[in-house]
Amino acid sequence: MRQMYCQTLIELAQANEQVVMLDADLMNSMSTIPFLERFPERTFNCGIQEANMIGIAAGLSATGKIPFAHTFGPFATRRVYDQIFVSGAYARLNIKIIGSDPGITAAFNGGTHMPFEDMGIMRNIPGMTVLEPSDSTMLKDILRQVAANYGMYYLRLLRKNAQKLYDRDSKFKIGEAVKLRDGEDVTIFASGIMVAETLQAHQILESKGISAAVYDLFTLKPVDRAAITNSAKRTGAIVTVENHNIINGLGSAVAEVLAENMPVPLERVGVKDLFGEVGPVAYLKERFELSAEDIVNKVIKVIERKN
Amino acid sequence: MLKRQELVELQRFATQIRLETLKEIKNLGFGHIGGALSIVETLAVLYGKVMKINPLNPDWEERDWLVVSKGHAGPAVYAALALKGFFPLEDLMTLNQPRTKLPSHCDRNLTAGIDMTTGSLGQGISTAIGIALGHRLDRRESFVYLIVGDGEINEGQIWEGALFAPNHQLDNLILLVDNNKKQLDGYTKDINDLGVISEKFRSFGWDVDEVDGSNLGEIYQSIHRARKNKGKPSAIILDTIKGQGVKFVEETLANHHIKFSETEDELTQQAIEKLTNKLEKLQGVK
């Protein structure tokens, strides 16, 4: 994903001289050195100064630049929440914030580096768009939109390889969930790495004779209210799947729409108000109940509740 | 050096800014009076003599920018902007009223002439750096002026910016520290002593000057000199008094934010009359 990030950013910067890149001493981790080599004047490595980086991005955007600012997810959000809020969002500026290593993918960096709250706290900022792409084709396409649309964006980004989900040249629209599987008994909404996990669960469910619709809900905000409400009407039960705290994340966003529009049974797969810890991703998936099997169990439970 | 006539004009402008600031806060009945008054002379020099601005086109691309990082000094900035014609003088009486364009803290989206939204202390240094970098990328010869409070430099973000700006040779950035020696809870030396501010910035790589922040000529000279700096950002430490130029405010210990009782209202009225007389005398000076 990071190679795609850098390559796309270079393309965007070639097409539009306003595009600039900022980082806080993680350019090597993010593999963005090629951008620096191509555009040294338009690259600002702020060192380990996340707050300063966000403020500088705000100032640059006030002069018409389109800044993409990256650091690890927790430092791109909770560490600089007030800077994003006041210097960026409240000032109605135009910053594209990239937070890498979402949730359990922070793996061996452990609890300090493992954001289960980043999308939730970003969702709470007025006007902020919150995105979690699930594969590199999607990343490329939505980065173009992020650059072209004025405003504050938070994009949660896996650095490593994502499982390929979409055909080359697939097109996406920010705010519109992508239907990946049709189904009758239940609808599952997932984002990021959990989309691939959900497709695995889908296979298991199929073998059990359960027909599940699957959506990639890559835009957490503004959330696709129509897709959620229509799915609730059609299938009568919803499961949400996120590599994030179930409080204030995707599950909460879906629950809000359901409660107001079409209350149906809902079960949430996600981190249940816990801090992260060190370990390989496979272990963390089990530890935080984020596996295909956990999804299957929630689906069975929600279908039982339908009746 | 300023010519005598130029100096008199600036004295007049500073007196007007002080007068209008007092009227705004008196009308409202409360406000951040101490830290607004301490930067009156600085604002007079910036808006009266130094900054490239166009009140008819506040967003003019070639303008100089001002980031008032101590955003609570808004009332003094609004007075300067209104006097320069960015908006009608009557608007000053809407300070903090519902749906006003003049909120307590500076807001770039509400007020003509305000270049950056501030209010959460410490953040202005970073946004000012970003603006300065933007000018450099666009090869624009605009300066960025940045006013921070001395209390404000308690904030860690100030020192992030202090480290960054010299490393990027931002000679189009001029920082003005309003060293009025007080913060909300008392004297800065008692709360979290700043030590010698000039030495700190010098050691971070800034070109540093120290001036009497009530002396228009000195402030002008220092900024004039700073604009010629090459390869370094400039920091000007302004020796000021919190509540500067209004005796009863200067003498009030807790003068960061004052809620006016009848006494303060009366004292402000007297100060307004005194400043009005001063202005009349200055009008006569050729």
Mapped to the 3 state alphabet, what secondary structure does A67-124 carry? EEEEEEHHHHCHHHHHHHHHHHHHCCCCCEEEEECCHHHHHHHCHHHCCCCHHHHHHC
The pLDDT of A243-247, averaged and rounded, is 98
The reply to whether residue B126 touches residue A63, judged by beta carbons under 8 angstroms, is no
The pLDDT of A302-307, averaged and rounded, is 93
What does the pLDDT look like over A71-100, one tens digit per residue? Answer: 999 999 999 999 999 999 999 999 999 999
Instruction: Provide the pLDDT confidence category of residue A21 given band limits of 50, 70 and 90.
Output: very high
Cα separation of A152 and B42, whole Å? 34
Who among A41, A60, A92 is closest to B130 (CB)?
A60
Q: Which chain A residues are within 8 Å of B129, Cβ to Cβ?
A: 52, 55-56, 59
The reply to whether residue A58 touches residue B133, judged by beta carbons under 8 angstroms, is no
Query: pLDDT tens digits, chain B, 286 residues: what are they?
Result: 899 999 999 999 999 999 999 999 999 999 999 999 999 999 999 999 999 999 999 999 999 999 999 999 999 999 999 999 999 999 999 999 999 999 999 999 999 999 999 999 999 999 999 999 999 999 999 999 999 999 999 999 999 999 999 999 999 999 999 999 999 999 999 999 999 999 999 999 999 999 999 999 999 999 999 999 999 999 999 999 999 999 999 999 999 999 999 999 999 999 999 999 999 999 887 6
Q: Which chain B residues are within 8 Å of A52, Cβ to Cβ?
A: 125-126, 129, 157, 160-161, 164
Q: Which CATH number fits domain B4-284: 3.30.565.10, 3.40.50.970, 2.30.30.280, 3.40.50.620?
A: 3.40.50.970
Domain-by-domain residue ranges, chain B? 4-284
Instruction: Provide the pLDDT confidence category of residue A171 given band limits of 50, 70 and 90.
Output: very high
Instruction: Provide the pLDDT confidence category of residue A307 given band limits of 50, 70 and 90.
Output: confident
pLDDT at B286: 60
Q: Let me know: does B136 contact B104? Beta carbons within 8 Å.
A: no
Q: Which chain B residues are within 8 Å of A152, Cβ to Cβ?
A: none
In order of start, what are the domains of chain A with their CATH numbers?
A: 2-157 (3.40.50.970), 178-306 (3.40.50.920)
Interface membership of B127 toward A (CB under 8 Å)? yes
Cα separation of A234 and A262, whole Å? 11
Instruction: Provide the pLDDT confidence category of residue A268 given band limits of 50, 70 and 90.
Output: very high
Cα separation of A41 and A19, whole Å? 11
The reply to whether residue A87 touches residue B126, judged by beta carbons under 8 angstroms, is yes
Cα separation of B53 and B2, whole Å? 20
Q: Which chain B residue shows the shortest CA-CA distance from A92?
A: B109
Model ipTM over 0.95: yes
% of chain A at pLDDT higher than 70: 100
The pLDDT of A270-299, averaged and rounded, is 98
Task: Among B123, B136, B145, B204, pick the best mutation site for testing chain A contact (most A Cβ within 10 A).
Answer: B123
